[in-house]
Structure 1
């Protein structure tokens, strides 16, 4: 009986020690993973001197599109659709300087511009540059403390929109839409829609939700006829 009790006690001690050892190994592994993550983040941050784009560089481009990307530039947005209402698929590219994260200086009046290219699809599968505008997309630091404001491009049946917005302590959205004019074979500013949001400070079920604080919609009646190539997002009038 004594021998049985002794063996049971020894077994319990061994199981306890083994469990403790495994827990220590797991904790050590977790610590190593955390350390690697911190070091990796630190290394990444060391390369970011001023600003960081929210738009990843697109490398897997069609060879016919690569022809329109100059040296020291890369593509951050590409959208396909019907821009001029013909039977061929068109595209819009937004490109940026590879150095913009460190060289763009909006506060100093020297933003690194991001060209927007309207490319029309051809019968043989290639593209033709219709227009390029350096002032249709905001720069990487045009959102101030809230970062890169450019969020994307949308295309639909002769219309295309350039979309911006920031979120955080300040939240706004700005959608600029152009429409194709077949008679003039060009795209003209169709409308702009800017919305500034604030937190709802009421006591209802939507408390703390974002609600529109300022909503401004403008059309041709407000700004007149502005062709795409003359549009200037940096100018309050748009040209």
Structure 2
């Protein structure tokens, strides 16, 4: 069994870990979500985001950090009335998706999918789906962007704040 806590440094804690083949080679790689330590003076919704680590097995079968991103998963109090915005992570051979959501009357959700490019030995954003639903009126709006619209942006460089938000009129 892997000791994932060795990647949780500086007081961070493991929030979630999902095993699967990140490189489409059939290995038991890991997407690890780390929750940073919180400050007692931090205001709700003002804490740092969670760090997402991509851990890939080396030739000897040991997990090694391949990439990281601290922009994808918002802080635990950044989901508004809905609470913690982190939803889940799903791995399918060669790609993975991270889903977040939150809000109150207007519930929002974001889905970020990254695909492994073997020739570049890196993951790139391949799809972003943003949704908003009004729980009172039933109105909803969504947008889906693919790599064609997003460009060639690596997992480590991707920042959701560069993608237009979806809002109801």
Give the one of 73, 76, 82 matched to 2:21: 82
1:177 CA drift (Å): 0.5
Contact 1:88 1:122 in 2 (8 A): no
TM-score, normalised via structure 2 length: 0.85
Contact 2:33 2:52 in 1 (8 A): yes
Give the one of 84, 91, 112 matched to 2:30: 91
Find the aligned partners of 2:108 and 2:64 in 1 and give their Cα distance: 35
1:189 equivalent in alignment to 2:125: yes
Secondary structure, counterpart of 2:127 in structure 1: strand
1:149 equivalent in alignment to 2:76: no
Give the one of 163, 166, 170 matched to 2:102: 166
Superimposed CA distance per residue, residues 218-238 of structure 1 (whole angstroms, 9 cap, x where no aligned partner): 11121211011101123446x
Find the aligned partners of 1:103 and 1:92 in 2 and give their Cα distance: 30
Find the aligned partners of 1:122 and 1:233 in 2 and give their Cα distance: 30
Structure with the greater alpha carbon radius of gyration:
1
Q: How does 1:178-217 map to 2 (within 5 A)?
A: 178-199=114-135, 211=138, 213-217=140-144
Change (3 A) 1:170 1:199: closer
Contact 1:105 1:112 in 2 (8 A): no
Contact 1:103 1:112 in 2 (8 A): no
Moved runs in structure 1, 4+ residues, more than 3 A? 102-107, 122-125, 234-237
Contact 2:89 2:96 in 1 (8 A): yes
1:212 CA drift (Å): 5.5
Q: How does 1:59-70 map to 2 (within 5 A)?
A: 62-63=2-3, 65-70=4-9
Find the aligned partners of 1:66 and 1:200 in 2 and give their Cα distance: 42
Secondary structure, counterpart of 1:115 in structure 2: strand
In the alignment, what sits opposite 1:111? 47
1:228 equivalent in alignment to 2:164: no
TM-score, normalised via structure 1 length: 0.62
1:121 equivalent in alignment to 2:61: no
Contact 1:118 1:131 in 2 (8 A): yes
Find the aligned partners of 1:200 and 1:146 in 2 and give their Cα distance: 15
Q: Which has the higher contact order (CA 8 A, sep 6+)?
A: 2
Query: Hey, which of these two has a bigger chunk of strand by percent?
Result: 2
Structure 2 unmatched ranges of 5 or more: 165-169
Find the aligned partners of 2:162 and 2:26 in 1 and give their Cα distance: 35
Structure 1 unmatched ranges of 5 or more: 1-60, 202-210
Secondary structure, counterpart of 1:221 in structure 2: helix
